[in-house]
Structure 1
Amino acid sequence: MTITLITGANKGIGFETARQLLELGHVVYVGARDEERGGKAAAAIGARFVQLDVTDDASVSGALAAIDAAEGRLDVLVNNAGLLGEGPVDGAKALRVFDTNAVGVVRVTEAALPLLRKSANPNVVTVSSSMGSFWAVTNPERPEYGLPLTLYAASKAAATMLTVQYAKAEPGIKFNALEPGATATDMTAAFGIGRPVGESAKTVVRLATLGPDGPTGTFTDENGPLAF
C-alpha cells in the first residue's frame, strides 16, 4: 500500500486529492489544523486523520511521529496547505503567509524526510502556483499579470524554488511543484473564478502517483512544464 500525507486536506483541492488517491488504493492521512473539521473530513471519505498545523513545529513533529508509529514509512507527501493573503499588505500578514506557504513546506518536508527515505518510491508534491512564476506575472497575455496578490505570488515563488533545491539535495526522492489551475475554493471565492476541484486535483494526483523513474525538480501544470 502507498502511504500518503496531505496537508490542508480538510477541504478544497487537498480534500479532493485525498478522495481520488483513496480510490486508487492509497492509505491517506488527512492533515488539518482543526481536529473537528479534519476528523469529519477524513471520516467522510474513509481516510485517516492527523492533526497538523504547518506553522507549528510541535504539531508537525507530532503528526509525522504518529504516522511513523502507525506505518513505519511515508511514500507520498503532498504540501497543499496555503494562504492567499489578499488585501492590504503589512509585515504581520507577510509573516503569516510566508510561514504557511513557504516555511510550512520546509517544516513538513524536513520532518517527513526520515520516513520518506524508508519508502521504495518516495515522492513529494508541492501545490504551488503560476502566480509564483516571474514569466507569468510579467506577461501581459497571462491572467496572472493583473492579479494583485503580492504575498501569495512571492511565497509561491519561494515554494517552487524550495522544490527545485530539495530535488537537488535529495536525489533519492522525487520533488515536483505544480500549478493546479484556477479552482473554485474558499481561497478564490472573492474573485469569482475557478473550475471544480475535481479537475484540478487530477493534476496533483498525476504527480503523486509517479513511478520510480518519474521526473523530479519540475514545475508544471496540466499541459506540461511552466516557465519560472
Structure 2
Amino acid sequence: MACRAGRRAVRLPGVTTTLITGANKGLGLETARRLVRAGHTVFLGARAARRGAEAARAVGARPLTIDVTDDASVAAAAALVRERAGRLDVLVNNAGVAGPARPADEITAADMLAVHDTNVFGAVRVTHAFLPLLRRSASPVVVNVSSGLGSLAVAADPAAHAPLVPVWVSSLPYNSSKAALNMVTVLYARALPTMRINAVDPGHTATDLNGRTGAQSVEEGADIIVRMALIGPDGPTGGYFTAAGPMPW
C-alpha cells in the first residue's frame, strides 16, 4: 500500500457527498467548512440535534444526528443519507473523546471501555454501517482522525520524536484508543483495496478535547484532514499522516 501523501489536493468529480462525525465544533467543524467550500455536500454529524443544526447552518452543511456509540443512531443516520444522497463518497471518522487524565495504574477497564467505545468502536460502527453507501461511490475515501499519541514508535521514545509530537501526554485510554484506530485503518485498507483509507494526526490543536491548550489553530489542525479527504483514486491508502508527511507507526 502506498505510504506517501500528495501535497496537492485533488477534487473528486461531480457532486461529492461527505459525512463528518463529531463535527459541531473544533476540527470537525473546520473540516466541514473547508469541504463545503471545496464543493462537497457535507452531512455534519453531531450527537445533539440542536447544536448540530446550528453548526450546519453556520458552514452551509446538512445536519445529521448521529451518536457513534449507539447502533440504532448510526443505522438511522445511514438510512437518512441513503434516502437523501444515495451514496457516500467521503467518510471522516472524527468523533472522539479524551477520557480521564490519570496515571496508567489508576485507570480501570470501565475507563478504557468508555474511551474506546467512541474512538475505536464508534469508527467501526460508522464505517460498517456506511460501507454499502461508500461502495456506491466511484472513488470512496475514509479518513480516520487519529493522533501522534497513538504512535507506538513515539510512545517508546517520546524525546526522540519531539519534533513530531512536541507535547507528550501519557494517557492510557486515549493513546491506546488511537493506536487501535491506526490498526483498524490498516486492516480496513487491506480488506477494501478500492477505497482510500488513511489515518491522520492533526497535531496539538487548540480544541475542547485538550482544554484549548494546543499550540496550533483548528485551521492548521484541519489541514491534513481536508487534504486526505480530497485525495483521488490514485492517492495513498493504509497510511498514517501528519501535515508534514508520514507519521511512524
Q: Give me the TM-score of the superposition, normalised by structure 1.
A: 0.96
Please give the alpha-carbon distance, in whole angstroms, between the structure 1 residues aligned to 2:204 and 2:239: 19
Matched, 1:199 2:220: yes
User: Does the 8 Å CA contact 2:90/2:140 hold for their aligned counterparts?
Assistant: yes
User: Does the 8 Å CA contact 1:184/1:194 hold for their aligned counterparts?
Assistant: yes
Aligned pairs (5 A) from 1:109-120? 109-120=127-138
**1:87 is paired with a residue of what secondary structure?**
coil
Deviation at 1:141, TM superposition (A): 3.0
Please give the alpha-carbon distance, in whole angstroms, between the structure 2 residues aligned to 1:130 and 1:13: 15
Matched, 1:7 2:21: yes
Please give the alpha-carbon distance, in whole angstroms, between the structure 2 residues aligned to 1:193 and 1:14: 16
> Structure 2 counterpart of 1:47, which letter?
A
User: Does the 8 Å CA contact 1:132/1:155 hold for their aligned counterparts?
Assistant: yes
Identity percentage of aligned residues: 50
Alignment-derived partner of residue 186 in structure 1: 208
**1:141 is paired with a residue of what secondary structure?**
helix
Deviation at 1:46, TM superposition (A): 1.1
Please give the alpha-carbon distance, in whole angstroms, between the structure 2 residues aligned to 1:166 and 1:2: 22
Matched, 1:71 2:71: no
* Alignment counterpart, residue 132 of structure 1, candidates 150, 167, 171: 150
Please give the alpha-carbon distance, in whole angstroms, between the structure 1 residues aligned to 2:214 and 2:73: 33
Please give the alpha-carbon distance, in whole angstroms, between the structure 1 residues aligned to 2:232 and 2:210: 32
Q: Give me the TM-score of the superposition, normalised by structure 2.
A: 0.88
**2:39 is paired with a residue of what secondary structure?**
coil
User: Does the 8 Å CA contact 1:185/1:194 hold for their aligned counterparts?
Assistant: no
Mind listing any 5+ residue stretches in structure 2 that lack a counterpart?
1-14
User: Does the 8 Å CA contact 2:100/2:111 hold for their aligned counterparts?
Assistant: no
User: Does the 8 Å CA contact 1:86/1:148 hold for their aligned counterparts?
Assistant: no
Deviation at 1:91, TM superposition (A): 2.1
Matched, 1:141 2:154: no
> Structure 1 counterpart of 2:49, which letter?
E
Alignment-derived partner of residue 223 in structure 1: 244
User: Does the 8 Å CA contact 1:178/1:219 hold for their aligned counterparts?
Assistant: yes
User: Does the 8 Å CA contact 2:52/2:63 hold for their aligned counterparts?
Assistant: yes
Structure with the larger helix share = 1
* Alignment counterpart, residue 90 of structure 1, candidates 108, 113, 134: 108
Which structure has more relative contact order (CA 8 Å, sep 6+)? It is 2
Please give the alpha-carbon distance, in whole angstroms, between the structure 1 residues aligned to 2:214 and 2:133: 38
**1:108 is paired with a residue of what secondary structure?**
helix
How many equivalent pairs are there?
Answer: 227
Deviation at 1:193, TM superposition (A): 2.6
Deviation at 1:146, TM superposition (A): 4.1
Alignment-derived partner of residue 234 in structure 2: 213
Mind listing any 5+ residue stretches in structure 1 that lack a counterpart?
none
> Structure 2 counterpart of 1:28, which letter?
V
Deviation at 1:189, TM superposition (A): 1.3
> Structure 1 counterpart of 2:205, which letter?
T
Alignment-derived partner of residue 122 in structure 1: 140
